[in-house]
Amino acid sequence: NAGVTQTPKFQVLKTGQSMTLQCAQDMNHEYMSWYRQDPGMGLRLIHYSVGAGITDQGEVPNGYNVSRSTTEDFPLRLLSAAPSQTSVYFCASRGGQGNQPQHFGDGTRLSIL
Amino acid sequence: AQSVTQPDIHITVSEGASLELRCNYSYGATPYLFWYVQSPGQGLQLLLKYFSGDTLVQGIKGFEAEFKRSQSSFNLRKPSVHWSDAAEYFCAVGEDDYKLSFGAGTTVTVRA
């Protein structure tokens, strides 16, 4: 049981490049979320999805796009990378019933030069 | 708007001693409250959560938290700390756990 899988684990980009961070879960979870974690700031919600075909913005959505074409996958796209997007990105998922815990991936560490 | 404050950036505690981590929140309605733990290089793991009912919540690894509405607090406690409890701890609030607001975290160091 893989849980929440994020790829890649590390990536270095140049300013202006585009990239997709992958997130996949094998638990048939309806809810999926993307967070970024910066030193001294905790995690901040970027985008989330309550099911296939449904996405919405979180606290810090600018510069990021998401899509949810399948239940399993929730990719995060950086359209034109900026140094301010240097961060650790976490994907999380949760089943539909309210008492189920949220599962986090191990993160993607992204550096923008 | 919802927000979370964790007043202590870093706490050092001796092994076997008690631990209390503070969390204060701001939320417009009845909050859902969570505590997560993060070990270095890992994702977050849920310790416990409060939705409603009994204000003293038991979690995994011997942790508990108490919801105090009058103080807008949700402090985390453990009676006797083990070296393996060294980690970063995050308090979070939201209408549901797939869209949370997190505090900045408290790093716990355990000394022998």
| Structure confidence at residue B81 as a pLDDT band (50, 70, 90) | very high
- Encode pLDDT of A20-48 as tens digits: 999 999 999 999 999 999 988 889 999 99
Nearest of A29, A28, A74, A42 to residue B34 by alpha carbon: A42
**Min Cα separation A48/chain B (Å):** 7
pLDDT at residue number A27: 92
What are the chain A neighbours of B101 within 8 Å (beta carbons)? Answer: 45, 59
| Structure confidence at residue A2 as a pLDDT band (50, 70, 90) | low
The answer to whether the CB atoms of A106 and B43 lie below 8 A apart is yes
In three-state secondary structure terms, B95 is coil
User: Rounded to whole angstroms, how far apart are CA atoms A98 and A102?
Assistant: 10
User: Rounded to whole angstroms, how far apart are CA atoms A35 and A33?
Assistant: 7
In three-state secondary structure terms, B104 is coil
User: Rounded to whole angstroms, how far apart are CA atoms A2 and A13?
Assistant: 27
The answer to whether the CB atoms of B98 and A106 lie below 8 A apart is no
User: Quick one: what percent of chain B has pLDDT higher than 90?
Assistant: 73
| Structure confidence at residue A105 as a pLDDT band (50, 70, 90) | very high
Q: Is the pLDDT of residue A113 over 70?
A: yes
B53 vs B80: which has the higher pLDDT:
B80
B32 shares contact with chain A (CB less than 8 Å): no
The answer to whether the CB atoms of B99 and A92 lie below 8 A apart is no
Query: For the stretch A46-63, what's the b/e string if a residue is b when 16 or more beta carbons lie within 10 angstroms of its beta carbon?
Result: bbbbbebeebeebbbbee
| Structure confidence at residue A99 as a pLDDT band (50, 70, 90) | low
The answer to whether the CB atoms of B4 and A101 lie below 8 A apart is no
pLDDT at residue number B41: 79
Sign of CA dihedral A66, A70, A71, A73: negative
**Min Cα separation A41/chain B (Å):** 4
What are the chain B neighbours of A35 within 8 Å (beta carbons)? Answer: 102
pLDDT at residue number A97: 66
The answer to whether the CB atoms of B99 and A43 lie below 8 A apart is no
The answer to whether the CB atoms of B104 and A41 lie below 8 A apart is yes
The answer to whether the CB atoms of A98 and B103 lie below 8 A apart is no
**Which residue in chain B is spatially nearest to A51 when comparing CA positions?**
B98
User: Rounded to whole angstroms, how far apart are CA atoms A105 and A24?
Assistant: 9
pLDDT at residue number B31: 83
B100 shares contact with chain A (CB less than 8 Å): yes
Name the average pLDDT for chain B: 92
